[in-house]
Amino acid sequence: MLVLPMVWRAGSLDRRFAGVPRSLVVLDRQGELLDARIASDTQWRFPDLTDTLPTRYLQAVVAFEDRRFFWHPGVDPVGIGGALRANANSRSVERGASTLTMQVVRLSRANPPRTLGEKILEAILAVAVEVRHSKKEILRAYASHAPFGGNTVGLEAASWRYFGRGPAALSWGEAALLAVLPNQPSLMHPGRHRDALLAKRNRLIASLRDQGAMDSLEAQLAMAEPLPGPPPPLPRLASPLLQTLHEEHPRRAAFPTTLDASLQSRLLEELRNAGQGLRRQGIGNGAVVILDNKTGFVIAYAGNVPGADTASSGATMDLVRARRSSGSILKPFLYEMLFEGGELFPWTLVPDIPTTYAGFLPENFDRTWKGALPASEALALSRNAPAAKLLAQAGVGRFHSRLRSLGLSTLNRPAESYGLSLILGGAEATVWDLAGMYARLSADAQTLPAWNEARLLSDPPKRSDLRPRFSPAAAWWTLETLREVNRPDEDKFWKDHVGSRPLAWKTGTSNGHRDAWAVGTSPRWTVAVWVGNPDGAGMPDIVGRDAAAPVLFRVVSLLPPDGWFSRPVNGWKMVEICPSSGRPAGPYCPVRDPRAVSDVPLHVAPCVYHQTIMVNAQGRRAHDGCANGSALEPKTVFSLPPEQAFFWNNSHSDEPALPSWSPACAPTDEDRLVIAYPAPGAKLYLPRDLDERRNPTVLRAAYTGKGKLHWHLDGRYLGATEQDHQIPVVLAEGEHTATVVDGSGRSVQRTFTVLSP
């Protein structure tokens, strides 16, 4: 009774070839080889990439090695008899009797010496293998482990190494060559044995013709095929990706992916060319991912820039998965969240003024303030101060959760530890995550299936791979804001760069100019780009708009144009909007513009910036108590809070300004002068330069009047300002009081504290 279990175990091919090292291979979506790594025993031994052997090779190997393979039980009695007669007549070993099954057993035993005892054992084990496995499985085992010359083992590796394509595409001449080669693999040597190998191959082709496997013309063409030369290098189109996949799936050897080999090759060539210019700017490397938004498939993946050959440049790293400072690349998702919650419209004015948060002053990239600007413009210009203000109002914890739900996998700290820096580069991101997040934005706008992350391996999707869809209206608004044709005047030169194809795109630059980002998305494609130095070295030219964006548009040009997003049909309602403030119209708004907004409960307060005042014949503000019988008439004006009005950009100053009071009517408590920075009770942490000297702090005031302002600090006169009311001062630690006085003697004070760095 113990015999059958022993035979069953002995015949297991999985057990017999267990532990045989395999090469690592990555394939594109059509099965084309993108990259490979040699096995640990220095053999090119590919894993099985398909379930079936190609018919031409199957016919050729059976005809050459074992014509009665499909009829014998592992041992061929007819073959043994013929071998005995042939060898007896010649008194030497002229002919063997090994079947393909016996050869599989021999390969599994690492080719021991050819003795009579070994032959008997091979025959016994061959029968056991036949009991356990189908003929198809035995042929597969032979094709996977047969030697093909040099350090090439198995049909898959031999086909790719010698002919540059998979076995399914082999010609008759190529299939016949690979059928005869394992019988004497030493013949596959450049410059030697070529005639013997050619004759051996052609004899097999003639035999196949005689058996009816091919006609005479096919045989003639097959014999005319030249033998392959020295094996060319295998493709090297995805080496960093192959390393990452191996680390993520250490038990796998074959990685069929969703990549497109042609696009992958063109992407690497484009990056190789771009890398020359980047290196001249002191930028060592970069990474790019291209996604198909319709399917969620990654169709091209560049882990680094070809030609980045120094240690500091990360030449062998997969920088797509590297964690880098996010800069401002996450801002669109804050605006999308607020659009979706009914807390913001693209036209809503948001403050752009200096504001401190527990000693932290978010500054814009150009170190200026505009007072207020529409949310869409604040996002398109990537203004830091409005983004910080909106995040403070929305809550860091809420945005932290939103980013994680969108697929940002690098948030490994509590929300409070990031604070407002979460929106300004305090978090880390990867090219991989950002590509998926922007692709989901595109998918939401089109109500397409949204995936938890980008799909790279060709494994069947699961229901858990899908995530809930967010508001199509909010996504569409965000993409419209990021569309290049809506860029402000200073960014319009990008139209010449990208051509007429529309693209929603965003850039980002990390603090210290260490990382530059650019991500673009359209209805069909998403491209995510990072450039920088993997060792963290900063350079002035590492700026998203100047370094990463040109790479983005070069890559986008490789893709077919695909139009623009259609506005979602559903999910809207009509609301009367004040065009000046971008809020629901208030009682004094002179224009009420019906606009479609997201059909959610609205939390945008009505406009309070329009008010109706009385003016005299000179256009000055007045009231009945001081008019002295003069006729007054009502006038509607647009008036921002003083701290915003002071920085209000001229491009938005077409609204009628709040006129000054008539001298006889001016109230003594008119609030025309405020200190804009620091905030009341602010605690400032002032950093030192490298030489330990304190940096100056710029005090700022908002003044709606005319004339000079006079500045005092702790009773000490600092000087006067006119028009641009800001003054730098070096502050010592401790509490300070700033006093500002206008020309009429009116003054305001602000107390704040300077803490140790």
Give the pLDDT confidence of 173-230 residue by residue, as tens digits: 999 999 999 888 777 765 577 888 899 999 999 999 999 999 999 999 999 999 988 8
Q: What is the domain count for the chain?
A: 4
What letter represents residue 700's amino acid? R
pLDDT tens per residue across span 309-332 = 555 555 578 999 999 999 999 999
Q: Are 253 and 229 in contact (CB under 8 A)?
A: no
Q: What does the mean pLDDT of the chain come to?
A: 85
Regarding whether 324 and 289 lie in a shared domain, the answer is yes
**Is-catalytic flag, 328?**
yes
Better-predicted residue by pLDDT, 166 or 676:
166
Could you say which of 23, 326, 328, 510 is catalytic?
328
Residue 237 lies in a domain: no
User: What does the block give as tokens for 273?
Assistant: 């060319």
How far apart (Å, rounded) are the C-alpha atoms in residues 43 and 186? 15
Residue 173 domain-assigned?
yes
Contact 610, 586 (CB under 8 A): yes
Q: What is the CA radius of gyration of the chain?
A: 37
Classify residue 609: in a domain, yes or no.
yes
Domain end position, chosen among 189, 224, 259: 224
- At residue 307, the 3 state secondary structure works out as coil
Residues 720 and 579 both lie in one domain: no
In the prediction, which pLDDT does 309 show? 58
Distance CA 56, CA 44 (A): 23
**Cα–Cα dist 576/349, whole Å:** 16
Could you tell me the two tokens for 648?
């209000």
Backbone angles phi, psi at 192, to 5 degrees: -135, 150
pLDDT in the model for residue 1:
45
In a domain, 259, yes or no: no
The CA distance from 381 to 378, in Å, is: 5
User: For tokens 């920075």, what's the residue?
Assistant: 677
The token pair that represents 421 in the structure block: 């820096």
Tokens of 212: 């009816």
Indicate if 109 and 25 belong to the same structural domain.
Answer: yes
Give the per-residue SS3 of 576-633.
EEECCCCEECCCCCCCCEEEEEECCCCCCCCCCCEEEEEECCCCCECCCCCCCCCCCE
Task: For residue 418, give the 3-state DSSP assignment.
Answer: helix
Pairwise CA distance, residues 186 & 95, whole Å: 19
Residue 247 is assigned to a structural domain of this protein: no
Arithmetic mean of pLDDT, 554-578: 93
Same domain assignment for residues 407 and 537: yes
Q: Which two tokens stand for residue 157?
A: 């590796």
Q: Which of 32, 65, 130, 336 is catalytic?
A: 65
Residues 25 and 83 in one domain: yes
Q: Could you give phi then psi for residue 583, rounded to 5 degrees?
A: -110, 165
User: How does pLDDT run across 353-407, given as a tens digit for each residue?
Assistant: 877 777 677 888 887 888 899 999 999 999 999 999 999 999 999 999 999 999 9
Distance from C-alpha of 6 to C-alpha of 378, rounded to nearest angstrom: 75
- In single-letter form, the type of residue at position 185 comes to P
Q: Which two tokens stand for residue 383?
A: 């203004």
What is this structure's pTM? Answer: 0.85
Please report, for the domain that includes residue 379, its CATH number: 3.40.710.10
Query: What DSSP assignment string belongs to 468-485?
Result: ----HHHHHHHHHHHBGG
Q: Tell whether 541 and 406 lie within a shared domain.
A: yes
For 623, 693, 752, the CA distances from 687, given in Å and listed in that order, are: 51, 9, 17
C-alpha span between 587 and 157 (Å, rounded): 78
pLDDT of residue 730: 84
Instruction: Tell me, yes or no, whether 236 lies in a domain.
Output: no
Residues 16 and 130 in one domain: yes
Last residue of a domain, one of 224, 256, 285: 224
Residues 305, 191 within the same domain = no
Q: What is the pLDDT of residue 690?
A: 38
Last residue of a domain, one of 529, 556, 583: 556
Residue 239 a catalytic site member: no
Q: Clarify whether residues 448 and 536 are in a common domain.
A: yes
Cα–Cα separations (whole angstroms), residue 212 to 10, 70, 106, 592: 38, 18, 31, 86
Q: Which residue has the higher pLDDT, 754 or 81?
A: 754
Residue 12: pLDDT band with limits 50, 70, 90: confident
pLDDT band at 656 (very low <50, low <70, confident <90, very high): low
Encoded amino acid at 158, one letter: A
- Residue 444 maps to a domain: yes
Dist. CA 73–CA 135, nearest whole Å:
10
**pLDDT band at residue 693, thresholds of 50, 70 and 90?**
low
pLDDT digits (tens, 9 = 90+) for 69-128: 899 888 878 766 555 555 555 544 444 568 898 888 898 887 777 777 788 888 888 888
Tokens 């410059």, residue?
191
Residue 31 belongs to a domain = yes
In this structure, the answer to whether residues 406 and 515 fall within a common structural domain is yes
C-alpha angle with apex 682: 681 to 688, nearest 5 degrees? Answer: 145
Question: What value does the mean pLDDT take over residues 511-528?
Answer: 93
Instruction: Provide the domain limits for residue 685.
Output: 673-755
Mark whether 595 and 540 lie in a shared domain. Answer: no
364 lies in the same domain as 466? yes
